[in-house]
């Protein structure tokens, strides 16, 4: 199995209003968010991002972190599973113009409003059925995405990530280490359908044969 490592340590950190959100978010907000449409990306904050726009401060340093940690060649092939509007893909291409970049996301809205230069590389599709041949990519990345699937589909998405990777993979998922972290996470969750303690995730990874690296979204 892979390694627990925080490769998002250069991503900006934010103070999350957990208690306020827990008081305000309803089942209707979660249902709206789960459609991954306009309201999720660019609607009210209680439905999702509250406006999902590009800014270089988010992914620029993180894609450098990925490149350096995995020692990616200039023409490496990288797949972003859950790429949304292609922001991380764009920063990868800015950093490594010769690379082969690809992205997939369930949201037609995200594709329609993606960075124009990235649209040729993005497909609208399901993480449980990645439309790529075996061993297509040097690195497959999935940030806070597969936990939005029910458990069995989450397992299948992990198998698919493993299948299309010929070298490396890195994912992040909702998790907790302590009772307090579990309580905070359940206050924050909007779209996740599969979330569990870190040791349970690790058992799941082993069970499906996922050998890539991983880290956790811990609500703080």
Give every CB contact of residue 90 below 8 A, 6+ residues apart in sequence.
Answer: 54, 115, 117, 118
Please tell me whether residue 216 adopts helix, strand or coil conformation.
Answer: strand
Look at residue 219 in the predicted model and tell me its pLDDT.
84
Look at residue 175 in the predicted model and tell me its pLDDT.
97
Q: Which fold has domain 37-217?
A: Rossmann fold (3.40.50)
Look at residue 1 in the predicted model and tell me its pLDDT.
72
The ranges assigned to domains in the chain are 37-217
Look at residue 220 in the predicted model and tell me its pLDDT.
78
- Global pTM? 0.95
Q: Give the number of other Cβ atoms within 10 Å of residue 94's Cβ.
A: 13
Distance of CA 120 to the CA centre of its chain: 20
Q: Which residues pair with 169 in a beta bridge?
A: 140
- CA–CA dist 145, 162 (Å, integer): 15
Q: Are strands 165-176 and 77-81 parallel, antiparallel or unpaired?
A: unpaired
Per-10-residue mean pLDDT, the chain, length 220: 93 73 83 95 92 94 98 98 98 98 98 98 98 98 98 98 98 97 90 97 98 93
Look at residue 19 in the predicted model and tell me its pLDDT.
67
């Amino acid at each position: 199995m892979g390694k627990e490592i925080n490769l998002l340590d250069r991503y900006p950190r934010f103070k999350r209003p957990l208690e306020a959100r827990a008081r305000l978010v309803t089942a209707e907000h979660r249902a709206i968010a789960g459609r991954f449409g306009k309201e999720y990306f660019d609607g009210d904050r209680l439905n999702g991002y509250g406006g999902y726009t590009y800014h270089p401060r988010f992914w620029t340093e993180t894609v450098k972190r990925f490149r350096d940690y995995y020692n990616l060649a200039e023409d490496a092939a990288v797949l972003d599973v859950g790429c949304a509007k292609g922001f991380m893909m764009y920063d990868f291409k800015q950093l490594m113009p010769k690379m082969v970049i690809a992205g997939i996301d369930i949201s037609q809205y995200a594709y329609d409003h993606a960075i124009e230069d990235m649209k040729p590389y993005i497909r609208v599709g399901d993480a449980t059925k990645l439309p790529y041949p075996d061993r297509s990519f040097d690195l497959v990345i999935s940030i806070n995405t597969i936990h939005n699937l029910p458990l069995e589909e989450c397992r299948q998405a992990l198998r698919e990530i493993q299948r299309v990777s010929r070298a490396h993979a890195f994912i992040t998922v909702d998790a907790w280490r302590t009772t307090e972290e579990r309580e905070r996470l359940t206050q924050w969750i909007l779209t996740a359908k599969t979330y569990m303690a870190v040791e349970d995730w690790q058992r799941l990874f082993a069970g499906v044969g996922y050998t890539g690296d991983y880290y956790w979204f811990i609500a703080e």
